[in-house]
Amino acid sequence: MLAVLKDGLINYRKNLSDPTKSNLDDREWFFGSQDDGLFSFESICTALGLSAQRIRKRLAAWEKEARKRQRAK
């Protein structure tokens, strides 16, 4: 489960830096309300004892930083 979360975070961050790629699927996995299924974001956070809300806040900060960098170019 940790590997699934890590892979999701890496792909999400990588796609933020490449504006030509769509990260809609990754974003839906993190921010969607799907909490059923063994490998849903919510289930993984619960199993690992992590706060889904804290992770989502950090992802939102990453998005904000990426938008600032894109505007600065």
When comparing pLDDT for 37 and 4, which is higher? 4
Q: Amino acid identity of 18?
A: D
When pLDDT is cut at 50, 70 and 90, the band that residue 69 belongs to is confident
Domain ranges of the chain: 27-73
Q: Is residue 34 scored above 80 in pLDDT?
A: no
* Residue 69 CB neighbour total at 10 angstroms: 12
Average pLDDT, the chain: 88
pLDDT above 90 as % of the chain: 55
